[in-house]
Amino acid sequence: QKEVEQNSGPLSVPEGAIASLNCTYSDRVSQSFFWYRQYSGKSPELIMSIYSNGDKEDGRFTAQLNKASQYVSLLIRDSQPSDSATYLCAVNIRSEGSARQLTFGSGTQLTVLP
Amino acid sequence: DAGITQSPRHKVTETGTPVTLRCHQTENHRYMYWYRQDPGHGLRLIHYSYGVKDTDKGEVSDGYSVSRSKTEDFLLTLESATSSQTSVYFCAISESGQGLLVYEQYFGPGTRLTVT
- Partnered with residue A22 across adjacent β-strands are A73
Q: Which residues of B touch A45 (CB under 8 A)?
A: 107
Tens of pLDDT along chain A (114 residues) come to 668 999 878 999 999 999 999 999 988 888 899 999 999 999 999 999 999 999 999 999 999 999 999 999 999 999 999 999 999 999 987 755 555 688 999 999 999 999
Q: Measured between alpha carbons, how far is residue A5 from residues A26, A93, B105 in Å?
A: 9, 12, 19
Spatial distance between the Cα atoms of B81 and B108, rounded to a whole number of angstroms: 22
Q: How far apart are CA B38 and CA A107, in angstroms?
A: 12
Q: What is the pLDDT of residues B67-101, one digit of tens each?
A: 999 999 999 999 999 999 999 999 999 987 777 67
CA distance A34 to chain B (A): 7
Go through chain B and tell me how many residues it has: 116
pLDDT tens, position by position, B13-47: 999 999 999 999 999 999 999 999 998 788 999 99
> Distance (Å, rounded) from C-alpha A11 to C-alpha A28?
28
Q: Which pLDDT score is estimated for B42?
A: 85
pLDDT band at B62 (very low <50, low <70, confident <90, very high): very high
Q: What stretches of chain A adopt beta strand conformation (E)?
A: 4-6, 11-14, 19-25, 33-38, 45-50, 54-58, 61-66, 71-76, 85-91, 103-104, 108-113
Closest CA to B11 of B87, B109, B108: B87
A interface with B, Cβ–Cβ < 8 A, is: 29, 31-32, 34, 36, 42-46, 49, 51, 88, 90, 92, 97-102, 104-107
Any bridge partners for residue B12, and if so which? B114
Q: Is the peptide bond before A10 cis (omega within 30 degrees of 0)?
A: yes
Interface residue B3 vs chain A (CB under 8 A): no
| Bridge-based pairing state of the strands A108-113 and A54-58 | unpaired
d(CA B37, CA B15): 20
Structural contact between residues A38 and A107, judged by C-beta atoms closer than 8 angstroms: yes
CA distances from B97 to A87, B26, B38, B92, B105 (A): 24, 19, 28, 15, 11
Contacts of A36 in chain B (CB under 8 A): 107
